[in-house]
Amino acid sequence: MAIAFIDLQAQRARIKDRLDEAVARVMEHGRFILGPEVTAFEKEMSAFSGAALTCSCGNGTDALALPLMAWGLRPGDAVFCPSFTFTATAEVVPWLGASPVFIDIDPRTYNMDPASLEAAIEEVVSKGELRPKAVIAVDLFGQPADYPRIKEICDRFGLKLIADSAQGFGCTIEGKHPIEWADVVTTSFFPAKPLGCYGDGGAIQTNDPEMWALLDSLRIHGKATEEDMAAANYRGHEAKYLNPRIGMNSRLDTIQAAILLEKLAIFADEIEMREKVARRYNELLEGHVSAVPFVGDGYQSVWAQYTIEVENRETVQERLREHEVPTAVYYPVPMHDQGPYKRFPSAPGGLPVTNEKKAKVLSLPMHPYLDEETQDRIVDAVRSAVD
């Protein structure tokens, strides 16, 4: 029997009736855009992570762009982000005419290296060609970045901090979610994410009511906020027809919010299940592969992926295919090596860790419902493949 890389059907079987009922309720009331389930989900998501406010949107990429728009990013601004990440992290910066500056990664966690970040900021300040504006740290493979150190650096240089938690929503450091340190936390509800819907979706979390109002305006074509309405004496008119700023159309569908409400209800349990699968993988694979995932003391990953390191990766993948074990290689060409992004600067000294790890990382099947029998089959195949 073929092995699923991510088994969404196992999760659906667990809550099928609740999902069907949730979708049926939306179909019945017919408020398909910004319906009551959207508001309810935003409140539940805030409660889960301890954020004051959540602003949902159309996808995880827009979730990154909207805060940068709210902060007035413009040409000449610099945003510091890892190169070892999905395109969206860096893509949103040139949208607004600004420049990404690529940062190296920690060799154990694959997350942003604070030392590389600090050196890059100092170099940009020294050269004087760009204005340091913000940092986008990524919770790669589900593990939180080193937010205490990154936040200290951001505060010292006066930079905004985005926690790109597309893969890591639910991750914590000493029980605290990234919103404890970041100005905003963004996430994606792409179906393969730990908290995913059945389409596209995203969200931004903040503790700042004024920021939330601005994000809410920008996600709906730059509509007037309550403050805008009062200042311009627009009482009696619909805010969506009054547009004091340029925005975009980026709203979470009500049906997706209804689905996410049911998935969020079991999310904490699924994180524990993912942790159990990951611990067992580590126990069975440590010493057989070049490296198993490292998670620091006090750090909780949500295990969006389970990623090992191997030598001769293509040979290993081919052998695993023969055993019907699917694998994935994330970021074989980091952002600083991709054509459109080669013109943007990187941290001083280059990105040696990124360049090393891109040839070694290999992700194995990972989801909360991976049973021990299937996991044993995967482990046996990996051990055989690397011998």
Residues in the chain: 387
Q: Which residues contact 234 (CB under 8 A, 6 or more apart)?
A: 224, 228, 242
How many contiguous H segments (helices) and E segments (strands) does the chain have?
Answer: 13, 11
**Rounded distance between C-alpha atoms, residue 183 and residue 46, angstroms:** 14
**Rounded distance between C-alpha atoms, residue 254 and residue 201, angstroms:** 10
Cβ-based burial of 284 (10 A; exposed 0-12, middle 13-18, buried ≥19): middle
343: nearest Cα among 134, 100, 8: 100
Catalytic residue among 133, 160, 193, 223: 193
Is residue 193 part of the annotated active site? The answer reads: yes
Contact 198, 175 (CB under 8 A): no
Q: Which residues contact 367 (CB under 8 A, 6 or more apart)?
A: 4, 6, 7, 8, 10, 11, 274, 277
Contact 202, 303 (CB under 8 A): no
Active site residues: 193
